[in-house]
């Protein structure tokens, strides 16, 4: 995992005037400077089509990062900006000149452009001799999902990236991997003796992952119309959390050992046919409703969204993992926008005891044991189990034993981008997504995407402020289960 070396790097952001740079990358760099991870040897270059001078770019960084940090202000004062098209040689000639002034230091390219440009930019870097190192310094490329829109387009993107660079130069970010409690899955499972022995089909009845958002699509209507919840959240964040939850123990914590196990797990997730998709997948779209006493409009009324849109803002599905550990254990996942709360939670619900010695009257309030990993907000872990209610009668009741990160460690967790950008700079690929992981996730998702397109799974609706369509509850009810997070 990341060392805290102050490595000499020229950090080149493509899409430097855009939203991602503004909201995530610059504030993360500012925090890295404040924590002493980057400093004198760190140079920032921005590239975008928006016309800006170096000075204007520097102002923009100051505004985005809200920098009060002397180290970062020094980095800002050296920052350079190139106004240019991502496909024009001239842009790359200017870049070459700037890189030469930094004594050809290590380079980290960050592609914060629209995804359609990722492959193009990589090819341009290659054509201009800027993608492979000739002086022993490293050259890395950081990109963000979406990594393609289907299996085929992801394959095409990978092939373009690989024309320009070797796989070990490419750092694909899934910001969920930067979340503390997602990484904690490794500690919970593989550093404790008590969980792993019961982490299997003998003891686990079903597994549930909920990624609930109360926000809508905000100003991203246009982007979201083409993505939908399946591509936006399930193909990446959900698959990443599931692979860490369900994979076999790696021999060690090396990046490749972990990523090999993740891929093996993804390969074990059953690829559903049309009939199975019709039975096991629910898609929904929100209509107007109320969240936290505020009225919110229907998805179709959001800016940039078609009035007859059929894009899903909610997906629930039942997945199966065909391996010895998980055969027969339903894996339920759901995600949605404009739900009643923001919460990402993983729940392992355990089987009931094989024989209940207490009478029905005494166990009325006893729920199955559950282990809950709260990924956000209030990161923590809680175990729910039965205890005896005080008194002469031997009544049982479910209670919860809670661990909360903030209470225990006092300081709030670092932002995921801060962690991941530092890992890319120091060259630790553990938390980044390898190309075979991307491809396997698309193998699972593409048939579902096709089924949506051909209306195999009808689009249902749900009220903003609810927890999704009733069909999502029915999906579990048909297997005698119910969502843990209500």
Q: Binding residues for ligand BG6, per CB under 6 A?
A: 175, 213, 232, 344
Q: Give the integer Cα–Cα distance in Å for 362 and 365.
A: 8
3-state secondary structure of 310: coil
Nearer to ligand BG6, 206 or 344 (CB): 344
Closest of 244, 308, 289, 283 to residue 457, by C-alpha: 283
Closer residue to ligand BG6, CB minimum distance, 130 or 177:
177
Q: Say how far apart CA 423 and CA 57 lie, in whole Å.
A: 25
Q: Which of 37, 237, 481, 484 is catalytic?
A: 237
Cα-Cα-Cα-Cα dihedral sign, residues 226, 228, 230, 235: positive
Instruction: Look up tokens 């094989």; give the residue.
Output: 354
Helix (H, G, I), strand (E, B) or coil at 343: strand
- Least separation in angstroms between residue 455's CB and ligand BG6 is 24
Alpha-carbon span 40 to 418, nearest angstrom: 18
Written as six digits, the tokens of 264 are 């093996």
258 in Cβ contact with 430 (< 8 Å): yes
HSE (side-chain half, CA atoms, 13 Å) at 362: 15
Sign of CA dihedral 174, 178, 180, 186: positive
* Minimal distance, residue 174 CB to ligand BG6, in Å: 8
Comparing CB distances to ligand BG6, the nearer of 175 and 484 is 175
Nearer to ligand BG6, 20 or 456 (CB): 20
Q: How far is the CB of 232 from ligand BG6 (least distance, A)?
A: 5
Is 237 a residue of the active site?
Answer: yes
Nearest approach, Cβ of 344 to ligand BG6 (angstroms)? 6
Distance CA 366, CA 465 (A): 29
CA 350 to chain centre: 26
Closer residue to ligand BG6, CB minimum distance, 9 or 339: 339
What counts of helices (H) and strands (E) characterise the chain?
Answer: 16, 17
What is residue 199's three-state secondary structure? Answer: coil
Q: Considering the complex, what minimum distance in angstroms separates the CB of residue 80 from ligand BG6?
A: 29
Q: How far is the CB of 227 from ligand BG6 (least distance, A)?
A: 7
Q: Is the CB of 211 or the CB of 331 nearer to ligand BG6? A: 211
CA terminus-to-terminus distance, the chain? 36
Min CB(310)–ligand BG6 separation in Å: 18
CA distances from 152 to 147, 155, 293, 333, 402 (A): 11, 5, 44, 24, 44
Contact (Cβ atoms closer than 8 angstroms) between residue 284 and residue 314: yes
**Smaller CB separation from ligand BG6, 175 or 374:** 175
Please give the positions annotated as active site: 237
């Amino acid at each position: 995992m990341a060392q805290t070396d102050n490595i000499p790097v020229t950090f080149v952001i493509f899409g430097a005037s855009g939203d991602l740079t503004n909201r995530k990358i610059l504030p993360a760099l500012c925090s890295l400077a404040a924590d002493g991870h980057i400093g004198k040897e760190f140079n920032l270059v921005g590239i975008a089509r928006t016309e800006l001078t170096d000075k204007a770019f520097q102002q923009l960084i100051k505004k985005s990062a809200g920098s009060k940090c002397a180290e970062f202000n020094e980095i800002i004062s050296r920052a350079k900006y190139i106004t240019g098209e991502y496909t024009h040689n001239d842009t790359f000639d200017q870049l070459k000149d700037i890189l030469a002034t930094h004594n050809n230091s290590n380079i980290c390219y960050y592609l914060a452009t629209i995804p359609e440009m990722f492959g193009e930019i990589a090819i341009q870097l290659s054509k201009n001799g800027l993608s492979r190192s000739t002086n022993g310094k490293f050259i890395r490329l950081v990109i963000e999902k979406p990594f393609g829109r289907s299996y085929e387009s992801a394959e095409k993107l990978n092939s373009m990236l690989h024309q320009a660079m070797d796989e070990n130069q490419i750092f694909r970010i899934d910001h969920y991997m930067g979340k503390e409690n997602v990484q904690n899955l490794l500690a919970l499972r593989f550093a404790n003796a008590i969980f792993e022995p019961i982490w299997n089909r003998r003891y686990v009845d079903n597994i549930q992952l909920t990624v609930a958002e109360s926000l809508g699509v905000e100003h991203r209507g246009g982007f979201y119309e083409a993505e939908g919840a399946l591509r936006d959240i399930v193909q990446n964040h959900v698959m990443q959390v599931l692979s860490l939850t369900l994979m076999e123990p790696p021999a060690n914590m090396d990046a490749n050992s972990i990523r090999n196990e993740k891929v093996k797990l993804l390969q074990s997730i059953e690829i559903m046919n049309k009939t199975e998709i019709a039975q096991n997948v629910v898609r929904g779209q929100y209509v107007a409703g109320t969240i936290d006493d505020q009225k919110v409009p229907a998805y179709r009324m959001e800016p940039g969204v078609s009035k007859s849109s059929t894009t899903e803002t909610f997906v629930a599905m039942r997945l199966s993992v065909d391996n010895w550990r998980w055969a027969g254990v339903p894996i339920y996942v759901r995600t949605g926008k404009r739900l009643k709360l923001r919460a990402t939670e993983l729940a392992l619900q355990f089987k009931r005891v094989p024989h209940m010695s207490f009478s029905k009257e005494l166990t009325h309030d006893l729920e199955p044991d559950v282990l809950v990993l709260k990924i956000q907000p209030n990161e923590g872990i809680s175990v729910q189990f039965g205890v005896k209610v005080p008194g002469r009668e031997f009544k049982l009741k479910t209670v919860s034993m809670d661990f909360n990160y903030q209470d225990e460690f006092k300081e709030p967790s670092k932002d995921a981008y801060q962690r991941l950008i530092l890992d890319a700079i120091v060259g630790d690929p553990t938390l980044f997504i390898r190309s075979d992981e991307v491809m396997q996730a698309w193998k699972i998702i593409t048939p579902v995407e096709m089924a949506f397109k051909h209306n195999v799974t009808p689009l249902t609706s749900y009220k903003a402020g609810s927890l999704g369509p009733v069909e999502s509850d029915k999906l579990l009810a048909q297997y005698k289960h119910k969502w843990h997070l209500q």
